[in-house]
């Protein structure tokens, strides 16, 4: 009975890290930095954590070791981050959702948000960042991007919240996310209070 009572009390809402998902150019860095500042918590680029752990860039990592090694390292770094780091806003890699176990781990441990955008906006933002590599000598690059977005929609759609960054500015996106988080926090607080009242201390 004591164990059951303690377990019920421990189900209070715990503030989890916030994981932003989406293909490159979705706005994860811009929105993530502003959201983290609003919440007063760190902003973390997950790709940077992987590069730090590997000691080489992601491009070199894929070239030398291949995708299989990358996925194992990605999961190990994510497990370490979630178990050791304080609450943060985490910009995940665009392909993380394609690894079922890692994406399930992130959805279980974090509040997940899909930053959704039109293919053209993804394209324009990547170009604005100065990276032309995906487009160089590739006349079908835009079609490939549309296909990629379409194939990943069911995976990204598993996130708890979807924010359309093609329709809203960075500031409005952050406002929408903060309002949702506040509403969930109040709802979880009410549920926790109800559980405490309904689970009396065993005698």
Q: DSSP letters of 175-192? A: HHHHHHHHHHHHHHHHHH
Whole-number pLDDT of residue 12: 44
Whole-number pLDDT of residue 203: 52
Whole-number pLDDT of residue 11: 44
Whole-number pLDDT of residue 129: 80
Whole-number pLDDT of residue 135: 64
Whole-number pLDDT of residue 186: 79
Q: For the chain, which ranges sit under pLDDT 50?
A: 3, 6-7, 10-13, 199
Beta strands in the chain (DSSP E): 18-21, 43-45, 89-91, 111-116, 161-164
Closest CA to 11 of 197, 137, 188, 203: 188
């Amino acid at each position: 009975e004591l164990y059951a009572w303690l377990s019920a009390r421990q189900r209070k809402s715990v503030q989890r890290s916030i994981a932003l998902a989406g293909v490159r150019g979705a706005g994860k860095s811009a929105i993530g930095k502003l959201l983290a500042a609003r919440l007063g918590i760190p902003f973390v680029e997950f790709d940077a954590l992987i590069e730090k752990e590997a000691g080489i860039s992601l491009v070199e990592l894929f070239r030398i070791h291949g995708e299989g090694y990358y996925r194992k390292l990605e999961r190990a770094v994510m497990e370490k981050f979630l178990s050791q780091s304080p609450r943060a806003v985490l910009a995940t890699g665009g392909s993380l959702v394609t690894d079922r176990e890692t994406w399930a781990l992130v959805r279980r441990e974090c509040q997940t948000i899909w930053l959704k955008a039109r293919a053209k906006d993804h394209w324009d933002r990547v170009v604005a960042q100065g990276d032309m590599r995906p487009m160089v000598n590739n006349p079908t690059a835009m079609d490939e991007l549309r296909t990629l977005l379409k194939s990943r929609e069911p995976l990204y759609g598993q996130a708890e919240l979807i924010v359309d960054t093609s329709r809203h500015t960075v500031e409005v996106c952050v406002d929408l996310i903060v309002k949702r988080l506040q509403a969930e926090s109040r709802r979880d607080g009410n549920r926790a209070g109800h559980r405490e009242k309904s689970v009396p201390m065993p005698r």
